[in-house]
Amino acid sequence: MTALHLNAASGDIAPLVFLLGDPIRAKRMASMLSAARKVSNIRGMPCFTGMLRNGMEVSVQATGMGIPSLLIYANELIDSYCAKTLIRVGTCGTTNERVALGDLFVPTSAVSDSGILPAPAPALVTPSAHELVVKIYSCAKMRTDKTPSRVHKGKVFSTDLFYKWDNKEMQDFDSDVLGIEMESAGLFWLGHMKNVSTAALLTVTDKINVDEHWPPAMRATGVDTMLAIALEVASSV
């Protein structure tokens, strides 16, 4: 397949790719790699490839927000660039009182209201690489033991609408949904369809029901612990 939204040369994207919604956050993650270079840039959605401390190459792709946008990049990374592992590194909201702003969240399953996952839409979709999820959680746990923030694992709700028509919907979530975002269910579903490893690591930036939020600047720069954990995970896969 010829990629229409990526213009990297063949071989310029590593088998392991981190997917970040925000191009600025993607650039920030790339700056933590050595010898990072921009290998693709269409529509302001860059892809960087660089090296971990152990010499392994990884790539960092910006995907924009929502399942439709993420799936454009994920499909092209898999079909045109032979990506084998896709790890979403992003943010989420919560309505759970046990979860605080700045906490880390590792989805172990996802439910979705997405109108674009093919019928029959998966009621519950899991990350396609269980061992990767375990690794992300244990790496995050080790880091967060040393800092005031905490790490959770559980069910994520991937929604098509950031702004709900009716706030009452927020109370209708499964009580075991810990994180709410807009991408993971699509990524996990694609992982199963295309037989590639998928997982996610999220930072909680919104307490939706009590209207507490990280401000825009903090959303871009306050996620360094998560980025470092994701890179640490990659060096051990």
Cis ω before 68 (30° cut-off from 0): no
* Rounded distance between C-alpha atoms, residue 169 and residue 176, angstroms: 15
Two tokens, residue 90:
């992003």
Using CB under 6 A as the binding rule, whether residue 182 contacts ligand HPA is answered as yes
162 touches ligand HPA by CB under 6 A: yes
- Stretch near ligand HPA under the rule CB under 6 A, chosen from 40-48, 74-82, 100-108, 200-208: 200-208
Q: Does 185 bind ligand HPA (CB under 6 A)?
A: no
Query: What pairing do the DSSP bridges indicate for beta strands 104-112 and 197-207?
Result: antiparallel
Interface with ligand HPA (CB under 6 A), residue from 95, 106, 205, 229:
205
- Indicate which residue of 113, 160, 206, 224 is catalytic: 206
Q: Give the residue, chosen from 15, 50, 93, 127, that forms a contact with ligand HPA under the rule CB under 6 A.
A: 93
Strands 57-62 and 45-51: antiparallel
Residue 2 in tokens:
């010829």
Place of tokens 């310029």: 12
The first and second tokens of residue 114, run together, are: 């997405």
**Under rule CB under 6 A, residue 112 binds ligand HPA:** no
- Tell whether residue 111 is a contact of ligand HPA (CB under 6 A): no
- Tell whether residue 181 is a contact of ligand HPA (CB under 6 A): yes
- 224 part of the active site: no
- Number of residues located near ligand HPA, criterion CB under 6 A: 11
Choices 54-62, 77-85, 90-98, 166-174 (CB under 6 A): range interacting with ligand HPA: 90-98
**Least distance from ligand HPA to the Cβ atom of residue 138, Å:** 24
Handedness of CA 97, 204, 16, 232 (dihedral sign): negative
| Alpha-carbon dihedral 122, 137, 99, 148, rounded to 10 degrees | -160
Residue whose Cβ sits closest to ligand HPA: 93
d(CA 22, CA 116) in angstroms, rounded, equals: 21
- Which residues would be at the binding site for ligand HPA (CB under 6 A)? 91-93, 159, 162, 180-182, 205-206, 208
Active site residues: 206
